Structure 1
Amino acid sequence: MNIIITPVQPFDDQRPGTAGLRRPTSVFRQTGYLETYLQAIFEADPPLPGAVLVVGGDGRFFCREASSIAVRMAIANGFDTVLVGQHGLMSTPAASAMVRSQDAHGAIILSASHNPGGADGDFGVKYNTRGGGPASPALTDVIATRARTLAAWKIAEEAELDLDTLGERRLGKGRVVIVDPVKDYLDLLERQFDFPSIAGLLAHPDFRMTFDAMNAVTGPYARALFEERLGAPSGTVLRGAPLPDFGGRHPDPHPHHLTELFADLFGPDPADFGAASDGDGDRNMILGPGLMISPGDSLAVLAANVGHIPAFSRRGLAGVARSMPTSRAVDRVSRRLGFALHETPTGWKFFTNLLDAGLINLCGEESFGTGSDHVREKDGLWAVLFWLSLMATRNLSISAIMEDHWSTYGRDVFQRHDYEGLSADAAEAIMTGLRARLVPTIGQVSGGHTIIAAEDFTYVDPIDGSVASGQGLRFTLNPDSRITYRLSGTGTLGATLRIYLEYYLPPGEAHEDAARLADLTRASRRLADLDRAWGPHGPSVVT
């Protein structure tokens, strides 16, 4: 096997964001761009003798070609074995599971998650380390530094690899194994839940569910899980075939991108349960007839009901973590049930140390991400199975489960406003202005709410003492409300300001108050002086 060494002029924009490096596909297809970043990963976290690497992606445009490049570069950089998902496909939670089950050195996940695909869309590379979790902030800093100083990249000279035929082949001194990316992962899920109970629910003549796979990587998993293992009728899974451009839509679980699913769940004869995932299979959206469950409510309900799940009933709830912008619904469950609660910045990598240390075994974040310690990623199908388990074991509808929860704990009404396409300078100016107003605003009244606390969120990891500062600005108001601001780390063009609004309704007052939400919206715009930076228009996206 010949190894080709190619000199490179480093690129100055290869600093990973919240979940890896994401750029327009056209940028990744520049000569040497993908190769430079992969080489930086392999040099920042070099393999030991006998090391195994997992490679897979969400099926978006350029994924197959990038998979072949990643495999050949891994062998050239000393990996003994590379496990590749058939057709270049592997969901993010399945990749995490495979790293753990195969004691792999890490995984290259080729995905831009919920970002659009296609030649004119986005592409991404995410690196997960031993244990299956995302690279730590410290390691991503090393990768970014290495990418800026790289002199050359290495690749095995070889024709394009056959990614479609299962089995093992030699590449120089290394092994390339094309693996079924679905079976082992579904076996893992089956060990977490009572599949016969869920199958009984799906077989009931009066029960109907719909799952929208969004023409993304979850499709093959969902069909094998729901329609084959659990016996749901054929057609339960919508848009189940992965497509390079996701059928021309964003693979983002949002009403705007889930037309068919929302038409079903909010129509005259709705399904009893609806769900969707995203591009790489790690997010989830849960729906009941005429009802969408917020991420914070979902986490809180799961925490309050872990006793119904075999994986938890055997060992209990060690603790729960949520990202800072996630609503405080789970906090109220924590206070009543007495389990430990941790608050982290946005980004699953901040949960990993807590999971590894056994401090938590349930966690969630504001962008429809939920998971446990069975893997080290959020897991869309896992969350869907949890909800189906609750419906089966409690013999209650989604609406009844939520009404019962709100009557016990109250309700944290939550809404996210995205202001997209801001210039980086404008976005930073907004955050700088807000930081300057943190202390002076305390005691002020805005929209009928009094600001009682304000802070620039800093997180100190309780395991390794690492510090993550500047993770978002939050204002706590009276009556019981919060406004949180942060800049998104997952976009590729311009900057996105995200504003999270929430207010609490005590038990017995669970119905949303449109006037109160409008007051908080006005207060959030006034605090950030958005009319000056954005104009009088509303947000780009409301979730």
Structure 2
Amino acid sequence: MAASVKTVSTKPFEGQKPGTSGLRKRVKVFSQPHYTENFVQAILSSIPSPGAKGSTLVVGGDGRYFSIPAIQSIIRLCAGNGVSRLIIGQNGILSTPAVSHIIRSYKATGGILLTASHNPGGPDADFGIKYNMENGGPAPEGVTDKIYNVTTTISEYHVVEGDDVDVSKIGSTSFGSTKIDIIDPVKDYVEYLSKIFDFGLIKSFLQSGSFSVLFDALHGVTGPYGRALFVEQFGLPESSVQNCVPSPDFGGGHPDPNLTYAKSLVDAVESKGISFGAASDGDGDRNMIIGKGAFVNPSDSVAIIADWADRAIPYFNKGVKGLARSMPTSGAIDRVAKKKGFECFEVPTGWKFFGNLMDAGRLSICGEESFGTGSDHIREKDGLWAVVAWLSILAAANKEKPGTTVSDVLLAHYKTYGRNFFSRYDYEEVESAGAKDMMAQLSSQFTSSSFKGTKLGDFEVAEAGDFSYTDPIDGSVSKNQGLYAKFVDGSRIIFRLSGTGSAGATIRLYVEKYSNDEKEFEADAQQGLKPLIEQALKISELEKFTGRSKPTVIT
């Protein structure tokens, strides 16, 4: 096919500013004429030197509604901008962790990911596009700012016209002068995990006794990956996986792995006495770990993985370089770092902040309380990596003491380090103006010098402010990353407006309290945190500003 480039006139759309994980809007917004094309052209125009021409890009996503039309537009735009090669997941499917790995292993220039992560899918729901860099991680603010600036002034984009490319068949083809490779979306990633973990040990453990497993992909992208791991690699029965066929609308559900949206998994684990349950989100970068009678808080999960890493995961046999968490995540991992002598970092929410530390060789394991966990094996959080890490820990623990359960691992950790009681209240799609007014009022209080020393009920404020982060690697400064108040007893409350929604605003309230009293280790987190939650809701006047008397989700 002759590469005849066509220049198409266009006009800017308002609001094409990428958030922490790219641009997320309703499908109806992305499907407007020129809307997707404008944003993709802005990405291609913002790829750091030497730019899009001659580049190799990875393309794929979670298979949500509108993915295939978007991929066809991306192919035409990439050909029109001189991209040399596209590596595309079969049927447009590639988990976010797989994209990161493929970018790194194929030495690609970057990747265009089609996902709105844990947000619902379907014609009336959400779609998203984000760009990842050559290290496999999300674009830094310098690049996303440039993308946004291009969207505000764009007047044309460049395409090669032609028939749609069949992305359902593995193999190579071309479009214009751009080579296109359609690859197996699962193979490279699963092979990589087999080098990180001891698959033989996990398989023998899972088949040695009565330990049962149930993995729920929530009809997201990890369905084929989960089946390849649990059924094909570990030899478990088909009944060990559920909801593993990716669906454009995620089976009509919400692909967010938490106690609310993964209820069928939670119910099955309890009713059937399943030893180990796990779920992943729409694009495969988040995870939830549960066992019969046990929910593993994501803050505890990353701390436990960090504690066990050099004992249970071969990848870390040579040592752990450092640990990190996002600011709202509990301090459980800090306690592991202190005891083991590891460097520990507190960063803003957003995986790109971890990537700089990893590239500098100062970070091995990190996590976010929003069910994101990962390591320096890639530059994205990785849901299935976390699930297999937990299976590795349980295999190692059962080697030491047969019959060890998820609850046993949790309790043993608390006895060593104490327990950081933690909870997050999400108020999704609240009216934006009210949310901003609430945050403005809180900001005036939390940043006031007179706030220190005041009392909220029985809690005396020791420190408060709006979290700011200076990157120790490149010196960049990120301000206004979340309002926090630390109390004299070590408790914290945090308020943030999330950037992961596609409509309205999402308010997140985080509460944390530490205890080293063994009598409290098995207590219900919500009950223990109740006085702190009540004070947070009182000072924020959240119901007055938003009209919400209850959160959408509690974790």
Whether TM exceeds 0.5 here: the answer is: yes
Cross-structure match for 2:523: 512
Distance 1:515 1:247, change over 3 A: closer
Could you tell me how far 1:168 is from its partner in structure 2?
0.5
Q: Distance in 1 between matches of 2:406 and 2:164?
A: 48
Cross-structure match for 1:117: 121
Q: What does 1:256-275 align with in structure 2 at a 5 Å threshold?
A: 256-267=260-271, 269-275=272-278
Q: What does 1:152-171 align with in structure 2 at a 5 Å threshold?
A: 152-171=156-175
State the TM-score, normalizing by the size of structure 1: 0.98
- Conserved 8 A contact 2:429-2:501: no
- Conserved 8 A contact 2:321-2:361: yes
1:445 paired to 2:450: no
AA in 2 matched with 1:200 = S
1:537 paired to 2:549: yes
What is the RMSD of the two structures over their aligned residues, measured on CA atoms? 1.3
1:151 paired to 2:161: no
Q: Distance in 1 between matches of 2:543 and 2:117?
A: 31
Cross-structure match for 1:455: 465
1:485 paired to 2:489: no
1:405 paired to 2:416: no
Cross-structure match for 2:428: 420
Deviates more, 1:407-416 or 1:426-435: 426-435
Cross-structure match for 1:33: 35
State the TM-score, normalizing by the size of structure 2: 0.95
Q: Distance in 2 between matches of 1:90 and 1:421?
A: 28
Distance 1:64 1:535, change over 3 A: closer
Q: Distance in 1 between matches of 2:259 and 2:301?
A: 17
AA in 2 matched with 1:17 = G
Could you tell me how far 1:354 is from its partner in structure 2?
0.4
Which of 9, 12, 17 pairs up with 1:10? Answer: 12
Could you tell me how far 1:339 is from its partner in structure 2?
0.5
Cross-structure match for 2:47: 45
Q: Distance in 2 between matches of 1:142 and 1:485?
A: 28
Q: What does 1:28-177 align with in structure 2 at a 5 Å threshold?
A: 28-45=30-47, 47=51, 50-177=54-181
- Conserved 8 A contact 2:12-2:153: yes
Which of 358, 372, 379 pairs up with 2:375? Answer: 372
Deviates more, 1:422-431 or 1:340-349: 422-431
Q: Distance in 2 between matches of 1:535 and 1:16?
A: 28
- Conserved 8 A contact 2:63-2:246: yes
Cross-structure match for 2:362: 359
Could you tell me how far 1:308 is from its partner in structure 2?
2.2
Matched residues, percent identical?
45
Could you tell me how far 1:536 is from its partner in structure 2?
6.9
Q: Distance in 2 between matches of 1:140 and 1:243?
A: 29
Q: Distance in 1 between matches of 2:329 and 2:70?
A: 34
Q: Distance in 2 between matches of 1:12 and 1:229?
A: 48
Which of 442, 456, 475 pairs up with 1:434? Answer: 442
1:331 paired to 2:350: no
1:294 paired to 2:302: no
Cross-structure match for 2:536: 524
- Conserved 8 A contact 1:52-1:82: yes
Deviates more, 1:439-448 or 1:71-80: 439-448
Structure 2: segments with no counterpart, 5+ residues: 399-403
- Conserved 8 A contact 1:55-1:71: no
Cross-structure match for 2:218: 214
Q: What does 1:343-358 align with in structure 2 at a 5 Å threshold?
A: 343-358=346-361
Q: Distance in 2 between matches of 1:399 and 1:516?
A: 19
Q: Secondary structure at the match of 2:166?
A: coil
- Conserved 8 A contact 1:192-1:309: no
Could you tell me how far 1:253 is from its partner in structure 2?
0.7
Could you tell me how far 1:49 is from its partner in structure 2?
5.4
Q: Distance in 1 between matches of 2:198 and 2:530?
A: 43
Q: Secondary structure at the match of 1:127?
A: strand
- Conserved 8 A contact 1:210-1:275: yes
Cross-structure match for 2:511: 501
Q: Deviations over 1:244-300 (max 9, x none)?
A: 100001111122221221112222x31100000000000000001111111110011
Cross-structure match for 2:474: 464
Structure 1: segments with no counterpart, 5+ residues: none
Q: Distance in 2 between matches of 1:5 and 1:507?
A: 68
Cross-structure match for 2:309: 306
Could you tell me how far 1:507 is from its partner in structure 2?
4.5
Cross-structure match for 1:381: 384
Q: Secondary structure at the match of 1:73?
A: helix
Q: Distance in 1 between matches of 2:286 and 2:140?
A: 20
Q: Distance in 2 between matches of 1:313 and 1:361?
A: 9
Cross-structure match for 1:236: 240
Q: Secondary structure at the match of 1:159?
A: coil
Q: Deviations over 1:173-209 (max 9, x none)?
A: 2201100111011111111000001111221230110
Distance 1:49 1:34, change over 3 A: closer
Cross-structure match for 2:401: none
Q: Distance in 1 between matches of 2:95 and 2:299?
A: 24
AA in 2 matched with 1:27 = V
- Conserved 8 A contact 1:53-1:83: yes
AA in 2 matched with 1:518 = K
Q: Distance in 1 between matches of 2:442 and 2:318?
A: 44
Deviates more, 1:367-376 or 1:498-507: 498-507
- Conserved 8 A contact 1:409-1:507: no
- Conserved 8 A contact 1:115-1:251: yes
AA in 2 matched with 1:363 = C
AA in 1 matched with 2:17 = R
Q: Secondary structure at the match of 2:450?
A: coil
Could you tell me how far 1:466 is from its partner in structure 2?
0.4
Q: Secondary structure at the match of 1:190?
A: helix
How many positions carry a matched residue from both structures? 542
Cross-structure match for 1:184: 188
1:195 paired to 2:207: no
Could you tell me how far 1:506 is from its partner in structure 2?
0.6
Q: Deviations over 1:219-257 (max 9, x none)?
A: 001001110011111121100000110000111112222
AA in 2 matched with 1:107 = G
Could you tell me how far 1:433 is from its partner in structure 2?
1.1
Distance 1:531 1:118, change over 3 A: closer
Q: Secondary structure at the match of 2:428?
A: strand
- Conserved 8 A contact 2:53-2:81: no
- Conserved 8 A contact 2:313-2:392: no
- Conserved 8 A contact 1:276-1:285: yes
Q: Distance in 1 between matches of 2:475 and 2:13?
A: 32
Could you tell me how far 1:312 is from its partner in structure 2?
4.1
- Conserved 8 A contact 2:90-2:183: yes
Could you tell me how far 1:529 is from its partner in structure 2?
2.1
AA in 1 matched with 2:420 = D
- Conserved 8 A contact 1:37-1:147: yes
